[in-house]
Amino acid sequence: MEKFIKLGITEPVLKVIEDEKFEKPTDIQEKAIPVVLEGKDIIAASATGSGKTLAFAVGILKTTEKKKGIQTLILTPTRELAEQVSEAIRMFSKYLPLKIVVVYGGVSINPQIDKLRSADIVVGTPGRILDHMARGTINFSKIKTFVLDEADRMLDMGFIDDVEKIMRQCPDYRQTLLFSATMPPRITELSKKYMKSPVKVSAEEYVDTKKLTQVFYEVEDELKFSLLVHLLRNEKKGLVMIFCNSRRNVDFVADNLKFSGIEASAMHGGFTQEKRSKTMKHFTSQRVYALVCTDVAARGLDIPGVTHVYNYDIPSDSKEYIHRIGRTARAGKDGKAINILANRDFVNFRRVLRNNDVDVKREQMPFIEKVKLKKVQNSGRTGSRFGGKRSSGGSGGRFGGQRKSSGSGGRFNSQKKSGKRKYSGITNKA
């Protein structure tokens, strides 16, 4: 607690920190909180799960007053992240008489309109905020603090023009807090245009790469799903995330895992908000232990207890590989990232190795039994509905032995002595 006290955090928030038994501030909290409390604009390089919500919450909760209009606006790229941030702000404001309202699409707008009339802090997604602006049901004239959370994700998802429209409606004298895992040129332009002499801070990546094991298996197309089932049944694990590149593959994998007796849920952009919320509740409460998802559906989610990340498909964007594996090996805990490579995955996997500074070890194929499928994919990834025992154990393959990329474009910079890799901070790479 002593380190939190030294940061200058106000008493009501300190009381919550004590209630929650937080032991010490994270790196981003130590660096960002003093700047935020001074009222300065900030550009903070930090990933999901790094503790950034508390980093900006302390300033918001110090300056926001009860029943004086909307004084804080927090923009997030996804509905799930908006929910997570709003829940965290409610927790940190437990001993303060403030009203926090979350607004996003996919649900009725009318209840939001009623709640906005008495809101002090608003957390929302760009599309729904613009809807309220068009209806005249949201007023930004009293805004003191504007927070842009996961700015690079906003750009990736095509929201940056909407963000600018919203920022232009906020008072010029506001404090602006921008948090982003990377700093693409468009985000740099945005910061120059709308921020006043921002202080730049960066923190060590929250993932401890010393505790993260990365492996890959080479497998025939028709045995790819069977290998996934084998590994899920034999690996020691807590919660598991399985990434696919398309909604179709997510549905295929999730349906057939359940058919194979493995508790799994699917989540992708085709789900309604109600279904997405229900899926996340089941996963975080461990009613199911495997979440099969696309990159878009998983963006911004901070899920504790994930021990394994499976790449059933290798992402075409090498940055997404880093985002995926960053779901595990957090907060000093061990984690494992497993890549399952069939023919069509080799091109993407080479790109991952070339563009990221990662250590990935080749694993020998185990003896596996081809599983029965509920339905057959027509893409050639799976074979017949039934099959006998098969094994693949060739020693050659496309990737032999242990591989380490020499690329310098990744988010981790090697730090040999400690075994950790430091977050590279704010760069001009997209």
| Domain map (residue ranges) of the chain | 2-202, 212-410
Residue 376 has pLDDT above 80, yes or no: no
Pick the range with the lowest mean pLDDT from 34-43, 70-79, 405-414: 405-414
At the second CATH level, the architecture of 212-410 is: 3-Layer(aba) Sandwich (3.40)
CA–CA distances in Å: residue 375 to residues 181, 228, 241:
39, 16, 22
Nearest to 229 by CA among 264, 255, 262: 262
What fold is seen in the domain 2-202? Answer: Rossmann fold (3.40.50)
Which residues, other chains included, contact 217 with Cβ-Cβ below 8 Å and sequence gap of 6+? 227, 338, 339, 340, 341, 362, 363, 365
Q: Is 251 exposed, middle or buried (0-12, 13-18, 19+ CB in 10 A)?
A: middle
Half-sphere exposure of residue 69: CA atoms within 13 angstroms, side-chain side: 10
What is the identity of the amino acid at 381?
R
| pTM attached to this predicted model | 0.61
- Residue 163 above 90 pLDDT? yes
Spatial distance between the Cα atoms of 148 and 175, rounded to a whole number of angstroms: 11
pLDDT surpasses 90 at 382: no
- Is residue 168 within 8 Å of 137, Cβ to Cβ? no
Higher pLDDT, 389 or 375: 375
Q: 63-112 pLDDT, tens per residue?
A: 999 999 999 999 999 998 999 899 999 999 999 999 999 999 999 999 99
% pLDDT > 70, the chain: 84
Q: Provide CB contacts within 8 A for 378, sequence distance 6+.
A: none
- The residue with tokens 């495997």 is 290
Separation of alpha carbons 39 and 173, rounded Å: 11
Is pLDDT at 182 greater than 90 in this prediction?
Answer: no
Q: Using CA atoms, how far apart are residues 408 and 275, in angstroms rounded to an integer?
A: 40
CA distances from 8 to 29, 30, 35, 36, 215 (A): 12, 11, 11, 10, 43
Checking if the pLDDT of 379 tops 50, the result is no
* Two domains, one topology: 2-202 and 212-410: yes
Q: Which residue has the higher pLDDT, 402 or 337?
A: 337
DSSP H or E segment with residue 34? helix 27-37
Question: What span, in angstroms and rounded, lies between the C-alpha atoms of 147 and 175?
Answer: 8
Choose the weakest-confidence range: 193-202, 383-392, 393-402: 383-392
Whether the per-residue pLDDT at 378 is higher than 60: the answer is no
What pLDDT digit, counting tens, does each position of 227-272 carry?
A: 999 999 998 778 999 999 999 999 999 999 999 999 999 999 888 8
The one-letter amino acid at 281: K
User: What dihedral angle (degrees, nearest 10) is formed by the CA atoms of 189, 190, 191, 194?
Assistant: 130
19-30 confidence digits (pLDDT tens): 988 888 888 899
Q: In the prediction, which pLDDT does 419 show? A: 37
Query: What percentage of the chain reaches a pLDDT higher than 90?
Result: 62
Q: How far is CA 286 from the centre of its chain?
A: 19
